[in-house]
Amino acid sequence: MNQSDLNSNQISINNSLPNNFLAEQIILSSLLTNFDVIEATANLLSVDAFYFKNHQEIYRAIIFMNKNNFPIDVITLINFLQTNGLLEKIGGSKVLVDLVSQRPNVTHLREYINLVNDKFLRRSIIKIGYEIINSSYTTSIPLTQILDELEEKMVDFKNQLLLSQSLDNIELLNSIFANLKSKSIEPSLAGLSSGFYDLDCMTQGFQKSDLIIIAGRPSIGKTALILNIVADVVRQSRLPVLLFSLEMSKEQILYRLLSIETQISQLRLKSGNLGKDDWVKISRVIPILAKVPLFIDDNFNLSIQDIRSKIKSILFEQRNLGLIVIDYLQLMQSSDSKIENRVQELAYTTRALKILAREFNIPIVVLSQLSRNVENRVDKRPILSDLRESGSIEQDADLILLLYKSTSYNQVDKQTATLIELIIAKQRNGPTGVVKLKFNQDSTKFLDWN
């Protein structure tokens, strides 16, 4: 197919783009005869959602008049359109008189709005399809740039689709009521269990669409903690987990997981200094780890687009994802060349990660470094302002956990466990506070303190 064939084909298809003339008429008629539904309709329906140009002009005029507190009926609307030179453009006053004569039932207005939105979104899909075709002919633009732009458009389109399908308040309240009733019969966490009782009690688990930050100074145990959580999720819930490791290889991650599950130190595992009992543990654990739905991506040059593509790939194969983990934030790179400094880059990244969490309705846990400022204080317990190159971390995150370990806490019991304070510094929908955990450095194993 050459370009001229493509253009002629586009013209013929545009003549029969999806639309619903009757639904558009009924909506406009409802607005002219029932003024109290104008504001609600304006929140659900854009001007572009109307296919016919005269309907767009009528709807735009009604919205404008309502916003500016003009009285609205067929006479005032005719006068407004005539004053602004639009009356003939919409087909004359007869079009408006015909609209008000229909007297529609407004109880079904939402259904008509959904119909019009459905046709609008279908037209949007067709438009994106032609943009894909036309972009394929443009060889002067890098392919990666074309794909990134198209992906952004598809995400915007998906958000519009979700908005058009949003539930009414009564539907949401009914859903909440059913959820409360179910939990009263069989109590359960609102989110995914971390494997730590005290933490789950305070947070109600890692909840869908949440961006969760776990931050600490280097070598304090951030990666060990998240691997304990990952191991518990895949072992107990059997939900797939996607782990992006920008610092360690897949082999290093698996060694750590093997150490956690067998309680054998990494040093002994890597050196091969193993006894008979150790081999029994390893033989029991390896077949289990081989079957768990854990997907590790150790691409060190990771972008938001890479993460989105990987998520889609896993969801296509598994149909579900329980948790996404990124280790760690400061190693991520932005593909946006317009970003001027590192703070802006981190702000862009955290915002994009929060959007991903909402887009796929999956909790995303991101590890982050703390700045050196904490080392210069008498009380070295970290606070939110210690988040390194924080950008918009504090604003975008739903839950922020800060790790603290004091040297005075070392070897607090006979098992030489270290006491770790997990400080809940921010929780959008819950309390802040401190959770105490035991950390066995040799086997990188975390446990509840009590």
Q: What is the DSSP string of 261-307?
A: HHT--HHHHHHT---HHHHHHHHHHHHHHHHS-EEEE--SS--HHHH
More confidently predicted of 35 and 120? 120
- Distance, in Å, from the CA atom of 24 to the CA atom of 41, rounded to the nearest integer, reads 12
- In the predicted model, is pLDDT for residue 192 greater than 90? no
**Cα 72 to the center of its chain, rounded Å:** 41
- Distance, in Å, from the CA atom of 380 to the CA atom of 80, rounded to the nearest integer, reads 67
Supply the pLDDT for residue 8: 37
Supply the pLDDT for residue 439: 81
Please tell me the least confidently modeled range out of 183-192, 352-361, 433-442: 183-192
- In the predicted model, is pLDDT for residue 10 greater than 80? no
Question: What single letter denotes the amino acid at residue 196?
Answer: F
Give pLDDT tens digits for 279-323: 988 888 888 888 888 899 888 888 888 888 888 888 877 878 889
- In the predicted model, is pLDDT for residue 7 greater than 50? no
Give pLDDT tens digits for 426-439: 898 888 898 888 88
Supply the pLDDT for residue 172: 53
More confidently predicted of 182 and 145? 145
**Mean of per-residue pLDDT scores for the chain:** 81
Please tell me the least confidently modeled range out of 119-123, 157-161, 335-339, 377-381: 335-339
Please choose, from the candidates 329, 241, 331, 244, the residue with its C-alpha nearest in 3D space to the C-alpha of residue 289: 241
Please tell me the least confidently modeled range out of 68-72, 159-163, 313-317, 430-434: 159-163
Give the Cβ contact number of residue 279 at 10 Å.
12
- In the predicted model, is pLDDT for residue 12 greater than 50? no
- In the predicted model, is pLDDT for residue 413 greater than 60? no
- Distance, in Å, from the CA atom of 190 to the CA atom of 179, rounded to the nearest integer, reads 10
Domains of the chain by start residue, with CATH? 3-164 (1.10.860.10), 189-448 (3.40.50.300)
Residue 416 confidence class, pLDDT cut points 50, 70, 90: low
- Distance, in Å, from the CA atom of 358 to the CA atom of 364, rounded to the nearest integer, reads 10
Taking CA atoms, 96 is separated from 48, 75, 83, 436, in Å, by 20, 9, 16, 69
Supply φ then ψ for residue 397, to 5 degrees. Answer: -70, 140
Question: What single letter denotes the amino acid at residue 355?
Answer: I
Supply the pLDDT for residue 226: 92
The DSSP 8-state label assigned to residue 186 in this structure reads S
Torsion of CA 182, 187, 193, 194, to 10 degrees: 150
More confidently predicted of 189 and 420? 420
Residue 175 confidence class, pLDDT cut points 50, 70, 90: low
When pLDDT is averaged across residues 227-253 and rounded to a whole number, the result is 88
Give pLDDT tens digits for 214-232: 998 888 888 989 999 998 8
Supply the pLDDT for residue 179: 65
Give pLDDT tens digits for 78-133: 999 999 999 988 999 888 888 888 777 777 888 888 899 889 988 988 888 888 88
Residue 348 confidence class, pLDDT cut points 50, 70, 90: confident
- Distance, in Å, from the CA atom of 172 to the CA atom of 398, rounded to the nearest integer, reads 22
Please choose, from the candidates 422, 386, 387, the residue with its C-alpha nearest in 3D space to the C-alpha of residue 405: 422
